[in-house]
Structures are given as structure tokens and as C-alpha cells.
Structure 1
Amino acid sequence: MSSYHKCILFTFYSLSWLNSMTSGSSGDRREDFRVCLSYCMTSCRYTETYPGKLPYYLSLFGWKCSDECKYSCMHEITHNSISRGLNVEQFYGKWPFIRLGGIQEPASTIFSIGNALGHYFGWRMYRKHVNPNYSMYSTWWLYNKVSIHAWFWSIIFHTRDLVFTERMDYFCGTSLVLVSIYSYFVRTFGRQHHQRCRFFGLLLFILFICHCGYLSFVRFDYGYNMKVTLAAGLVNVLGWLSWSFYNRISRPYVWKCAFINISLVLLIVLEICDFPPIWGILDAHAVWHLTTIPYCYYWYSFFLDDYFHDEKFGKIP
């Protein structure tokens, strides 16, 4: 089997597996969980003390009595399962994390902050050395702002998982992939085809609006969203890898671009080979967020090397 067919087969199985994730969780379907939840929800209506009256630090993060019941019953069932030697199960699509104050997923929240700061300081490094008249300056400015915005909503979502924060996290994740595709297109064709780049950017924006509109007003389909994001991610990776291969001789620094894109594909394994959170905090998704932090430096370092190369050969006005 060729490498190409292996890639297609891997992508197919990844999509199938990720789609199956969205069908539900075994933990919240358990009878003992439902009994615990029903009893707790009853107490919400007839008491002015806990859980009906939550501490101020939970109320500050938008926790309600019903949320507290789900959280407490989830951990009660998980504790009973562990004591009986059973596997830890997911509840409502998530592992039973131990919150920190009102923060629902502390590790993923902290590592999302790390990624946002990585893009912030990466842009400061880039801006310090680059002429604003450089052809890629405005494109990388846009990329940076979309990236920080996406990681901001990742912070909010992992702090508190609500319908709105979940959708903003998904939408912004898709926007980050699309702006990377746009940046690749501009980097490849921008100098000679400004109008084509504008048209391509407008097309991507319209597709993004249609995608978000369908999920918001027609049906929020987790499987469909995951397939679209992965398909866009595959286009993005193949585009940047092809550009790196084409310029490997004239621009030796493109190894950074290739390294980052190949690594991000390999890190999908963390999403596929998921595991219950260590110490109730660190799961595969949090590790994935942790591993992407150092890539910010290499990515913006690649931007700088690209600029210095063009400056050296007189390609900057």
C-alpha cells in the first residue's frame, strides 16, 4: 500500500472514530448516575443551602445547582467505579475532571493561555524586525489576530463548558485552519495575483459563514463539524508541505514549516488515543494543547526567516 493510500485510510478511520465520539457517553446513561442526579435535582428545588445555594466562586463562573448536581454525581459514580476496579467513563462527552475553583478543565485552560501568549510574543518578535511594507506583513497580522482570538475562546470554553462557549471554540478552531489556508495561498501566489488572493479570501470567508450558520441555525452536528475541520486541516497541511518541498533548495529554513505541519498531523494520535485524566486533570487533549505551545516560536521564526531571505534578495519594496 502506497504512503498516499495509507494517509487516506488513516484520515478515514480518524473521521469515523471522531464521529462515533459524538454519539453519546456511557457515564451519563448509567442508571445509578440518573438516580443520583434525580435525587440531587430534587434537593435543588427545596433547599436554600448547598447545592441550591452555591459558593460565590462557582456562581461567578456561571455554575447552577443543576450543573453542580451533574458534577457531584459524576465524581460519585467515578469514585465507585474505581473502587470496584471498573474503567473510568465519560459523562456528556467529557472525562470527569476535577475543577479548580469554577474552572472546569484547569490543565487545558492553562495550556490554552500558553498558546495565546505564544502567538502574542511571537508577533512582537516578528513586528520588531519586519518592515510593515513587506508583502506578507498584513497577512501574518491577520493570522496572528485570528489565532489569538481562537485561543481566547479555547480558554473560555475549557474554563466553562456552555453551549455558547462550546460553539465559539469550534467556530474559532475552524477559522484558524482557514486563515492558515489563506496565508498559504497568499504566500504562494500573492505577489503576482493580488485580486485572486482577495477573491480566494472572500470565498473562504463565505464558506466559513455558511458553515457557522448551518451549525447555529439548522443543526449542530458534531460529526459534520469534525469532518469539515479535519478536511480543511488536511488541505492546509498538504499545501504548506508542497510549498516547503518546492522551496527546499532555495529556502533551507522551510524545514521549520514542514516540521510543524508534520508534527501537528502526528499529534492527532493524542486525540485518537484518548485516556482518562491523570490526577483528574491531565488528559490527552490537555497534553495536545501543551505540545503546541513551543510550535509558536518555530512558526514565527519561520516567518522571520522568510522575511530575511526576501530582504537579502531584494524582494522587499
Structure 2
Amino acid sequence: MNPICLVAILILLVGCTQVYSSEGDNSKDFKNCVSLCSSATCPRRKIPPIRRLLQWSCENECEYECMQEITETAKESGGEILQYHGKWPFVRLWGMQEPASVLFSALNGYMHYQYISVFKRQIADGYYMKKFYVWCCYIGVNSWIWSVIYHSRDFVFTERMDYFAAGLAVLYSLYTAGLRVLHIRKTFHVASWTFVCLVAYTLHISYLLSGTFDYRYNMIANVAVASINNVLWFYWTIMHWNKRPDDAWKPAATGALVSLFLSLELFDFPPILGIFDAHSLWHLSTIPVIPFWYNFLLVDAEREDHKERKGKKTMK
């Protein structure tokens, strides 16, 4: 079970939700507060440069202030804390809507970034999968960059790009799993597999952009791709259980860890201190999973390269 794939698919499923309204922003208190704030302050309000850069309008400022005011009143009176536009009332930082998720997404991306140089340095140049593993890091960095952007400011564009970047990571995980697990090496077979994946991704994005964004289809498509990927790695684990008892368990263990950490999402709660919610803690928990998986790939690459070199010598 490939955790890179799992991380990406779970970003898709729990990081970006199609929500146009919630109980909070539908309430009369909120609407009245925003209306009064906008009429009273917008003609003369000056928005700080950092927030203007993140496209905070005067109305957005009023919505944020009203949300925080209503939330504080609810806390003092023991009332229910509501969601607004599908999100908890986070305390923003420098204009970022969800600072904890931004920070932890950035740290996840940094873990992928670190291994670009590690893979280039430690994997033998002659090993066939080296370039694909390096690109896995690049694609991982890309997916987390868009997660940072999305959690900083939630717009239709940032949401879509988060979906597309995560979808690319999901499909690329399957692509590399096919190459590694099924030992695809011949030029024609590699080209064919590459063509199939490229066409699939192109058609997927084209369909999603062709009209109303189909969230349900997007979820089903990515779950299907992730499931195939997981089956491939599970097959690898079974086939190598006796041959490599010291590390054959790692793909399965990684998948189990990710599944365990995902349980945080089942216990959704208002953000602690207005910052840390279940989703941000989920992002925090995935940070150590990435080096665990990549270190397995490093060892696997070393063993496979040695085996291939030894096989070539034997043939001579």
C-alpha cells in the first residue's frame, strides 16, 4: 500500500469538500452582522497589504470579523460553535485561513523536497527506477504546494488545483507501482503504460472542466486508481514475504499507519485555540510517514540494483 498515493487521495476526499453554505453563514445573526459591517466600514476601510495580496475584500473582512464575534459569544454562553462556508471558525494568520494546515502541508512538501537530493545521491544511476522516484518527489512537492495555497485561501481555482495536483499524485503512484511491481522495463511496454496514464489523466481533467465540476465522479475515479495501486503493493508484499522478511512488511505497515492517522478525521471538532482542528492534525501525522516510505524505496532500490547487476554478470 503506497502512502504517497494514500496521502494524495485523502487530501482529495477530506481536504476539499464541495460546500457552498453552512449553518453559520446561513444564520440571521451572521447575515445581519455582515450587512451592518459592510455598510458602515467598507467605504473607508483599508486592508493591510498582506491580506490584499491574498485577496481579502472588505466584505470578506466583515465575514471574518462577524464569524469570530459570533463564535466568541457562543463560547462565553456555552452555545454551539458553527461552521461557515463548510469550515470551522479558524483564527487567521497573515491572511491565511487555516494556518495550522498551511504549516503542516508545507512540512509535508518539505519532506518530499528533501528526498529529491537524497534519491539523486544515493540511488545508483544505473537503476531503472531512479528517475521515476525523483519525479515522485517533485509531484509530491507540487501536491503539497497546492494544499498550502488552498488552505491559505479557499477559492474555486485553488480548490480545483488542489484536486488536480492530488489526482496527479494518485495516478503517478499507480504509474510507478506498475513499473516497479510488475517489473515493466521494455521500451515499448513503458511507452504504452506511460501513454495509457497520460491519456487517462488528460481525459479525467477534461471531463471535470467540461461543465459543472463532478465531485462524485472525481472521488470514485481516484478511489478506483488508489485501490488498484494498493492491490499491486499488497501483491508485492505477499510475493516477498519470505524473500525479504526484514522489510516486506513496510508497505503494509505504512498503509496501516496512514489508516490509523486518518481516524482523526472521524472525530471532527472545533479548532483548539482557533487553530488546530482534526484535519490539521491529520496533516501533521502524515509528515513522518513520508521518510518512512522513501527510506523503504531507497533500500529496495539498492537491493534491486544489486540483483540486476549480479544477473547481468551471471549472463556474461
Question: Normalization by structure 1: what TM-score?
Answer: 0.85
The runs of 5 or more residues in structure 2 that have no matched partner are 1-12
Task: Provide closer, same or farther for how the CA distance between residues 20 and 123 of structure 1 changes in structure 2, counting only shifts above 3 A.
Answer: closer
Show the counterpart of 2:69: 76
**Which AA in structure 2 matches 1:180?**
S
Residue 65 of structure 1 deviates from its aligned partner by 0.9
- Whether the aligned pair in 2 keeps the contact of 1:61 and 1:102 (CA below 8 Å) is yes
Is the aligned partner of 1:42 residue 2:39? yes
- 1: CA distance, partners of 2:135 / 2:102: 24
- 1:266 maps onto 2:263 in alignment: no
Aligned residue among 236, 241, 249 for 1:248: 241
Q: Which amino acid aligns with 2:253?
A: F
Q: Is the 8 A contact 1:240 1:261 kept in 2?
A: no
Give the Cα separation in 1 of the matches to 2:101 and 2:17: 23
In 1: Cα distance, 2:189 partner to 2:276 partner: 45
Structure 2 residue 25 is the aligned partner of structure 1 residue 32: no
Aligned residue in 1 for 2:191: 198
Aligned to 1:176: 169
Distance in 2, matches of 1:29 and 1:83, equals: 21
Cα separation, 2, equivalents of 1:213 and 1:237 = 26
TM-fit CA distance, 1:42: 2.5
Residue 206 of structure 2 aligns with which residue? 213
Alignment check: 8 A CA contact 1:171 1:212 kept:
yes
| Greater alpha carbon shift after TM alignment, 178-187 vs 30-39 | 30-39
CA contact (8 A) 2:119 2:130 kept: no
- Map of 1:304 onto structure 2: 298
Task: Look up the equivalent residue of 2:151 and give its one-letter code.
Answer: H
How big is the shift at 1:284?
Answer: 1.1
Matches of 2:177 and 2:96 in 1, distance apart? Answer: 36
**1:71 aligned partner, one-letter code:** Y
Higher relative CO (CA 8 A, sep ≥ 6), structure 1 or 2? 2
Local SS of the residue matching 2:248: helix
Does residue 1:126 correspond to 2:119, yes or no?
Answer: yes
The percentage of counterpart residues that share the same residue type is 36
Residues matched between the structures, number: 298
Distance 1:25 1:296, change over 3 A: same
Residue 283 of structure 1 corresponds to 277
Distance 1:77 1:274, change over 3 A: same
The match for 1:8 is none
AA paired with 1:41? S
Structure 1 position 231, deviation (Å): 3.3
Partner residue of 1:9? Answer: none
The offset of 1:297, in angstroms, is 1.1
TM-score (ref. length: structure 2): 0.85
Task: Give the letter for the 1:35 counterpart.
Answer: N
1:130-145, aligned counterparts within 5 Å?
A: 130-145=123-138
Contact 1:122 1:296 in 2 (8 A): no
